[in-house]
Amino acid sequence: MSRLSPTRLYRLVARAEAVTWALLLTGMFLKYVTETTELGVQVFGMVHGVVFIAYCLATVLLGVDQRWPLGRVVLGLGAAVPPFATVPFESYAERAGLLGDTWRLRSEDPRGLVERLTAWLLRRPAQGLFVGLLAVAGLTGVALVVGPPV
């Protein structure tokens, strides 16, 4: 994460989320329209779920670091729900100056508990990446226990 600017990270996860939506929709087409296989939904549903969680965590991370208003964080999180909406939101966020070239909390003093935790993650990239992967895995596990959305 040390070389991964906020703009690059957000572009990466937003586009990955859109690609996994396309794969999941393809799997759904094969399952429900052509009735040929369920494999696409089984595989791409899991992949999409993992990337969806990663996108949401990245949105919160950037929202805290770049001091987005709560409404923008909610809008960014909501963009993960309709297919492909993360890409236009990412473009909007870049045009609106919501994404920085640097991580603010790597050099600024954090204010409050949430910023202190975020600064810790950003100032220790290896540990931050590990915590991020652990969070994605843990939230994916919770989602598997809860079950698929209806």
**Side chain identity, residue 104:** R
Residue 100 near residue 5 (C-beta atoms within 8 A)? yes
Task: Give the angle subtended at the CA of 136 by the CAs of 89 and 77, to the nearest 5°.
Answer: 25
> pLDDT over 90 for what percent of the chain?
95
Give the whole-angstrom CA distance, residue 94 versus residue 74.
16
Average pLDDT over residues 52-71: 97
Give the whole-angstrom CA distance, residue 59 versus residue 98.
11
Contacts of 88 (CB under 8 A, 6+ apart): 79
pTM of the model: 0.93
Residue 52 pLDDT exceeds 60 = yes
